[in-house]
Amino acid sequence: MVCDCIEPPWPADELLMKYQYISDFFIALAYFSIPLELIYFVKKSSVFPYRWVLVQFGAFIVLCGATHLINLWTFNVHSRTVALVMTTAKVLTAVVSCATALMLVHIIPDLLSVKTRELFLKNKAAELDREMGLIRTQEETGRHVRMLTHEIRSTLDRHTILKTTLVELGRTLALEECALWMPTRTGLELQLSYTLHHQNPVGFTVPIQLPVVNQVFSTNRAVKISPNCPVARLRTLAGKYMPGEVVAVRVPLLHLSNFQINDWPELSTKRYALMVLMLPSDSARQWHVHELELVEVVADQVAVALSHAAILEESMRARELLMDQNVALDLARREAETAIRARNDFLAVMNHEMRTPMHAIIALSSLLQETELTAEQRLMVETILKSSNLLAMLINDVLDLSRLEDGSLQLDLGTFNLYVVFKEVLKLIKPIASVKKLLVTLNLAPDLPEYAVGDEKRLMQVILNVVGNAVKFSKEGSISISAFVAKLESLRDSRAPDFFPVPSDNHFYLRVQVKDSGSGISPQDIPNLFTKFAQIQSLATRNSGGSGLGLAICKRFVNLMEGNIWIESEGLGKGCTAIFIVKLGISERSNDSKLPFTSKVPASHAQANFQGLKVIVMDENGVSRSVTKGLLVHLGCDVTTTSSGEECLRVVSQEHKVVFMDVCMPSMDGYEVAVRIHEKFTKRHERPLIVAVTGNTDRVTKENWMRVGMDGVVLKPVSVDKMRSILSELLEHRVLFEV
């Protein structure tokens, strides 16, 4: 039957199938376009790491689409081929989708973490940005500080330093006002010294003991202070709403005295200045940490710069002072030179002018003395003569001394006979000495050269002066003059520390000792002896006259002769010894007579003296005793022999003139005996001379015996002639320097 009912276009089942048909179609379409879109967009971006996944995904989607497309043919009866294709497609789709599902398990967490990493990186970037900003600001600050410091330190002028500081700070920190308060001289107040905008600040002062000031001074950090405190109230508040923040910092004022060598200045210096910095009002700006640091650093630098400036000022002042002093000294020197020249001219003239009339007076007075005079007249003439002699002496002394001081005096060198000089002195002094009943003895060492090169006149003057002093200051006793060649070791006397004798081939040092038994000198007066015009105020000298220049002149002469002079005394009443050493040249003339006494003493003259001369021979050895006795008896002596020290001491008396002591016997202590003899006879002229007779040729031994109190040392064996000469030398000089 064919049903003629209105056949719906589509059968009911066919409607469902039609919708399915359409849906499948669109699904397939979508499924095909999604991968295309993916591919298109992925191609656009270059950084997509999951290409393989995309391919997979694409395949999955394509296959799904294919499946749905093929579904279109399966709504109707379809051939087997289509079924086959459909099955294949489905199978493939199943495979791929499972694979994709498995793959996604791995992929999706990765994709998610990418997101987190992205977030993290973004944060990091923000942080770095912030830090960068900070560093940049710090660097700027540092730059500013360097620039500031450079500006400040490029000048040594205090005002410039401070002004520059304020200006630069103002600029760097964009300040409204910047001010510096300096402590006053009294240290009790702070005075407004510099400001940025007021050219000449009127003298505002605040007391230094303000709490805010103390607060700032107590720390080396920059301190925020209230804008209303006295130090910050600098500008007129012309209707500002909000004054900007104010910071103050202390500036230490260092002094030169704060810098010790090993001791860095502690900043407990009392003096600080106050620097006040104000931010612009109404700017809502705040002091940042780096700005505060900048301020602190600048304050320190300013302190250093200021101290440098202070030091410089100080040294400039000192230099000026020195220059002034130099000028003054120069002037003084020139004046002194003029004075000296004037004096020298004066002396030169007076030298001649004064002496001429003086000589006339003396000469004529002496002549007058020779004529017939009444007693009264004679007295007058004598007084005139004495006074004029004194005056002449004074004039000479003064003129000599001034010439000596100038260094214009020069020695008249010449060859002269040394022995004659001494004999002359002796001749001159003997009359006076004998009047005072003083015994004068002269001992000249045998090795003293007969002729020497030097200033004869002045040497005689020195000897005469010294001997004259000895005579002058001795009321009784004896004066002994001895002269010998000084050995180098004995020259270095601790009493004369700055006397350095220089040995040389053609010079020798003459040492003269004048010992007196007079009034002596107390130790405290000794240093003044050689001072000009200083006299020792003791009773004995008051009437002796003299100008007190004698020794001073002697010292000058002796120094000119490259020598030294000094006086030793054990005290008042104990006598004193004057010793001087001078350098003399050795003359070419015959000095080879080393034993002057042998040539000078004729045999006949000697023989006579020994008749009845009482001597003692002390010798342990009988044989040598007899031999020595025989020698002396042959020469005419009256000999007493002793064989031991005790016997000798028992027998010795004032009558015996010489004791010959054999000292090479080891048992006897010759030294002891000599000492005891010295003790027994305290007065020199009562004591017999002691001669040591020894076989020991050692020079040191000889000197030892001399030191011990022997008057001579003789070497065995002794011949007759030798004994003769020994005796005569002993008796003439009371000392024997010969072997």
Partner 1 sequence: MDSVTQLQGQLVDYTTSLFNEGYLNDQYTQLQQLQDESNPDFVVEVVSLFFEDSERLLNELDRALDQQSLDFRRVDSHVHQLKGSSSSIGAQRVQNVCIVFRNFCEAQNVEGCLQCLQQVRHEYSLVKNKLETLFKLEQKLLAARGSIPTQ
Please report, as ranges, the residues that interact with partner 1 according to CB under 8 A.
Answer: 620-624, 626-627, 630-631, 633-634, 664-667, 695, 716-717, 719-720
Beta-carbon contacts of 412 under 8 Å, excluding residues fewer than 6 positions away, are 455, 456, 457, 458
Amino acid at 535: Q
Question: Which phi-psi region, left, alpha or beta, contains residue 717 (left: φ > 0; alpha: ψ -120 to 50)?
Answer: beta
Q: Is 471 annotated as a binding residue?
A: yes
What minimum distance in Å lies between the beta carbon of 471 and partner 1? 45
Tokens 């003239």 — which residue?
Answer: 349
What minimum distance in Å lies between the beta carbon of 668 and partner 1? 11
- For residue 174, which phi and psi values (nearest 5 degrees)? 50, 60
Residue whose CB is less far from partner 1, 524 or 667: 667
Q: Is 104 annotated as a binding residue?
A: no
Tokens 């499946």 — which residue?
Answer: 67
- For residue 415, which phi and psi values (nearest 5 degrees)? -85, 135
What minimum distance in Å lies between the beta carbon of 572 and partner 1? 50
- For residue 602, which phi and psi values (nearest 5 degrees)? -70, 145
What minimum distance in Å lies between the beta carbon of 696 and partner 1? 12
User: Where do the H-state alpha helices sit in 371-511?
Assistant: 375-406, 418-435, 456-472, 488-491
Contact 612, 638 (CB under 8 A): yes
Q: Is 472 annotated as a binding residue?
A: yes
Residue whose CB is less far from partner 1, 357 or 622: 622
Neighbouring C-beta atoms of residue 236, cutoff 10 Å: 7
Helix or strand run (H / E) with residue 342:
helix 289-370
What minimum distance in Å lies between the beta carbon of 622 and partner 1? 6
Count CA atoms within 13 Å of residue 339 on its CB side. Answer: 6
What minimum distance in Å lies between the beta carbon of 658 and partner 1? 18
Q: Is 427 annotated as a binding residue?
A: no
State the Cα–Cα distance between residues 703 and 603, nearest whole angstrom.
29
Residue whose CB is less far from partner 1, 423 or 634: 634
DSSP letters spanning 300-341? HHHHHHHHHHHHHHHHHHHHHHHHHHHHHHHHHHHHHHHHHH
Contact 541, 473 (CB under 8 A): yes
Angle at 187 between CA 182 and CA 192, to 5 degrees: 25
Cis peptide before 717 (omega within 30 of 0): yes
Residue whose CB is less far from partner 1, 425 or 665: 665
Q: Is 469 annotated as a binding residue?
A: yes
Beta-carbon contacts of 246 under 8 Å, excluding residues fewer than 6 positions away, are 224, 225, 226, 227, 232, 276, 277, 278, 279
Beta-carbon contacts of 726 under 8 Å, excluding residues fewer than 6 positions away, are 691, 712, 714, 718, 736, 738
Helix or strand run (H / E) with residue 12:
helix 12-44
Q: Is 516 annotated as a binding residue?
A: yes
Residue whose CB is less far from partner 1, 197 or 716: 716
Residue 208 is given by DSSP the state T
Residue whose CB is less far from partner 1, 133 or 622: 622
Helix or strand run (H / E) with residue 127:
helix 80-153
Q: Is 478 annotated as a binding residue?
A: no
What minimum distance in Å lies between the beta carbon of 525 and partner 1? 53
User: Judging by DSSP bridges, how do beta strands 477-485 and 507-516 pair with one another?
Assistant: antiparallel
Residue whose CB is less far from partner 1, 438 or 639: 639
Contact 207, 230 (CB under 8 A): no
What minimum distance in Å lies between the beta carbon of 513 and partner 1? 37
Q: Which of 606, 510, 600 is nearest to 558 (CA)?
A: 510
What minimum distance in Å lies between the beta carbon of 698 and partner 1? 16
State the Cα–Cα distance between residues 149 and 154, nearest whole angstrom.
8
What minimum distance in Å lies between the beta carbon of 616 and partner 1? 18
What minimum distance in Å lies between the beta carbon of 667 and partner 1? 7
Residue whose CB is less far from partner 1, 255 or 634: 634
Residue whose CB is less far from partner 1, 246 or 713: 713
Q: Kindly state the tokens that stand for 35.
A: 């991968």
Binding residues for ADP: 469-472, 516, 532, 547, 551
Binding residues: 64, 68, 469-472, 516, 532, 547, 551
